Structure 1
């Protein structure tokens, strides 16, 4: 989905367009946000800890039920007309383009035994695509929430997130963890979500940067490198190999204090340097989440900055998912006085976050933009991350 703006209210426009497309007013309009991850990267598929916050940018869906099994979906942001599918004959990994995301949710709901007959759906989104801000999860979650309400399925936010993840894993074919969908479904305004991705227990952590004179910037590099194709699955497989060699269900089961011994065991077992590096990243990243939580609980928000930068080094050097543009955001922002910065999301492009003093945020953004120009890169898109509410109706 393309970015139609910076989180403006598109609800009325979506409802009006639905009526033009389908000839009647929708039964309702729902919204689900994109997210940015403060800390805890590439840990969710290792049963680890994450700490995302919802953005004001969101996917909005106008939806009505159908009595037949026809599923009709339309996007305001992607060229083309209405995509029509048979809800009773959806096939995983079929070539349905962008429509695979809402269709996958219908498939996942039906596979779970929920009576979803069909629907007319019109979607619009302000979540930038390719920026690592979970535009696809927003599409999935808003579809799941709308169908849950309309068909009175009685599923809670966590259950909807898990079904949305299944849609992306099994129908679309992307082996993502559950963080993106949980963030879109469950985040609270003014908070970051501390999530244990193993048992899905969660805690809303107050995250009022303005009260501390701080700001969190999102820097969308506007690039997506081809190296990212398939790289996510390769890293997930490498992490799983490390867990098998260490005899644990997942790398989250390796305590931080036992990391050196675990790395020695991997070496003795003949595991590659790559698997050892992936293991080191996951174990230290889980520890960074715990450190950030402790600092936020203590009210020492500024001390979070260096941990962000430390996390970037791990993503760059151990997991090797950064790129020149993301590295330049971090180096130019910290050189300009930022408290800390790191890439966020899957990597190989997308976005970085920068923690800054509020009164220096404009100067920091200017320094980053000038560094991009000097390097011959297109200007990045920079905006503040404002912790926003999760998926909701209306």
Structure 2
């Protein structure tokens, strides 16, 4: 249950600790590219975790990253609890300072003292598993447990989201922080007031691979949003579209009541607008319908669920590739190799144009390894065999 190796690394440096907490990484499972439209998304927490150990009390916060230390980089951050201001761009301590600032500003709790903590993370940076969210949630959990702040899971997630979005200044949605804080599989409705539905999915075998191709979300999201806006404008100005349908639409990508629009009712009018905007709007409606189908399977406890979820994962990848056009030939090569090796389904996890791929695989260990090996041979830079795990927690047995 515990990340034994990770805890061992911490205990090698400090013989005793006062508190140990952890939070998981997450995969972007279903309804990719939909949260910024106000549609529900499904993150799944995985068993690669970030650990925060409080080793002693301190007037200031002193935090060491064992990962950075092992890489021979600057690894210690120190800051005043009353002035958790951001340091230079890219510094790991900014995420921790941001959490303290978010707790102060969004809960009204000002911390007058800090602690000395050590961090060790199993969540790879840049691997598509939300390493920054795991760090934020784990540190927020440590603050909550050590100072008895009384944060519930929703508050833990929201504070962590505010930390990255508002203070670090990353234009992220809530997918990562909520996925890490809650754990398991959740259906997240990101539009305020935020809602979370815990899904009854207790096990799922997955392989995640990092293609090694780097991309910027800033090069993808604004372009797709602009294309949707262009298509919506053309639809709203079409006098042939019935009033009932127009009432569900709007002029901006986040205005339509997307979940109320059936594909068959809008399809005849998509043929009259430009190709790219038509594809993006079709994607939005079909992707959400595919996700609702998967949710229904999960809630019904469908037999052969893992295999059927794999089929939906394939369906969603094809929508991402053909209608949202965020795949690349290199990703398709890796994906095809994973499918040929026995994966039930493989899809882009994240914004696309590079980044990571997620595979739903059979539970047999040899098949998982075969799928991972096939991906690496096809060009993936690195990969991990993962399963569903719990959310943020206090680790017992090490105090």
Is 114-123 or 171-180 further displaced after alignment? 114-123
1:221 aligns with 2:223: no
Determine if the alignment matches structure 1 residue 234 to structure 2 residue 222.
Answer: yes
> For 1:340-368, what per-residue CA distance to the aligned partner results, in whole angstroms no more than 9, with x for missing partners?
22121233333322223334x63475366
Distance 1:81 1:131, change over 3 A: closer
Check conservation: 1:184, 1:391, Cα contact below 8 A.
yes
Which stretch shows the higher mean deviation, 196-205 or 307-316?
Answer: 196-205
Q: Which moved more, 1:300-309 or 1:253-262?
A: 253-262
The answer to whether the Cα contact below 8 Å between 1:49 and 1:196 also exists between their aligned partners in 2 is yes
For residue 116 of structure 1, the aligned residue among 91, 107, 111 is 111
User: 1:238-284, CA deviations, whole angstroms, 9 ceiling, x for partnerless residues?
Assistant: 4884798542783672136444666787898x8x7555544433332
Once the 2 structures are TM-superposed, how far is the Cα of residue 133 of structure 1 from its aligned partner? 0.8
> Which residue of structure 1 lines up, in the alignment, with residue 93 of structure 2?
99
Q: Which runs of 5+ in 2 are unaligned?
A: 234-248
- Structure 1 regions of 5+ residues with no counterpart? 1-5, 20-24, 210-214
Could you tell me whether the CA contact under 8 Å between 1:256 and 1:283 is conserved in 2?
no
How many Å apart are 1:131 and its aligned residue? 1.2
Q: Does 1:332 align with 2:322?
A: no
Q: Do the aligned residues in 1 keep the contact of 2:258 with 2:284 (CA within 8 Å)?
A: no
Normalising to structure 1: TM-score of the pair? Answer: 0.80
Contact 1:132 1:351 in 2 (8 A): yes
**Residue 77 (structure 1) aligned to one of 67, 72, 78:** 67
- Calculate the aligned-residue CA RMSD, in Å: 3.3
Among candidates 280, 291, 294, match of residue 292 of structure 1 = 294
SS of 2:149 mapped into structure 1:
coil
Between the aligned partners of 1:171 and 1:280, the Cα distance in structure 2 is 35
Distance in 2 (alpha carbons) for counterparts of 1:144 and 1:202: 19
Choose which of 25, 29, 33 in structure 2 pairs with 1:38: 29
Aligned counterpart in structure 1 of residue 197 of structure 2, from 188, 199, 203: 203
Q: Distance in 2 between matches of 1:240 and 1:280?
A: 10
1:73-126 CA-to-partner distances (Å, cap 9, x unmatched) read 221111213122334334458525122211211111122221123343321100
1:304 corresponding residue in structure 2: 309
Distance 2:362 2:322 in 1: 28
Radius of gyration: which is bigger? Answer: 2
